[in-house]
Amino acid sequence: MKVVFLDRDTIGPSVTITRPAFAHQWVEYGKTVPEDVAARIADADIVITNKAPVREQSIALAPKLKMIAVAATGYDVIDLAFAKDRGITVSNVRGYAVNTVPEHTFGLIFALRRSIVGFRQDVIAGEWQRANQFCFFNHPIKDLAGSTLGIFGRGTLGKSVAKIAEAFGMKVIFAARKDADKVEPGYTTFDEVLETADIITFHMPLTPATRNLIGLPEFRKMKRHPLIINTARGGLVNEADLVTALNEGLIGGAGFDVLTKEPPAPDNPLLTILERPNFILTPHVAWASDEAMQTLWAQVINHVENFEKGSPSNVL
């Protein structure tokens, strides 16, 4: 059985890349660009990919392909419908980021809520050295205790973020769907979250229904000028509108770990505001603690071995 791993470089160097226990041929590539996918998986039985896209055109040219193991929770890089039509099992990983993503989320929240980036920039620029007292007040500083956190997405990660927030004395509200006719118990209407949250954070997949979920019309409803945190998927928030919202003071700041295109295109509007003290952009690393990545890989190999045994797991 031939196993092809398309993009090993997307998994950190600290991770031990174990291999399946059954007899197999292992072929590993550091990176695979889209135009090379078809040739590299043409005679594969199992394909492992994180971000290398496996689309209909490539799948159609891989007659032996029986399984695709996605080394991520998001599976938008796979033509899932076509894979199903061909009887190909597709599995993803789940729950591995239950600590790392929420911790990164709160790293961004703390840095913005207490203006740590702005104050650090000031110290580097010599502001403290020129101050005539022991401290200065160039930026706002706010406690988390007593503030309201609006969470979009009530899966494993959203609930983990909520648990941390409650430990800090925050009020947590979960947003209902934007177009919900009925609000289920435990949820708050979409518009009420926009109007009452001091911080808004996203922990949901990118789908046609959630793309550009937040744009200028939604920003204009944010009465409390909240922080906007996105460690989920690029595209949930309209990036150009986010810049406008920051420029117009509609929001207090933003911390993003994901973009619509990664790495960012030169014309991405968020690249124009990197020096702002109330904006932080990290390079899609919220998921990437050493512990989380090793757990992720263990799941990938477990799914591959379960498939070979005839008991596939985490099937999409």
> Which residue numbers are catalytic?
233, 262, 284
CB atoms inside a 10 Å sphere around CB 181: 6
The Cα diameter of the chain in Å comes to 74
Peptide bond into 102 cis (omega under 30): no
Q: What does the block give as tokens for 78?
A: 């796979």
Angle between helices 156-167 and 100-113 (to 10 degrees): 50
Q: What does the block give as tokens for 184?
A: 């289920």
Q: Are 20 and 12 in contact (CB under 8 A)?
A: no
Q: Which residues pair with 25 in a beta bridge?
A: 2
3-state secondary structure 208-273: CCCCCCECHHHHCCCCCCCEEEECCCCCCECHHHHHHHHHCCCCCEEEECCCCCCCCCCCCHHHHH
C-alpha–C-alpha distance, residues 252 and 140, integer Å? 10
C-alpha–C-alpha distance, residues 162 and 170, integer Å? 9
Q: What does the block give as tokens for 159?
A: 């609930």
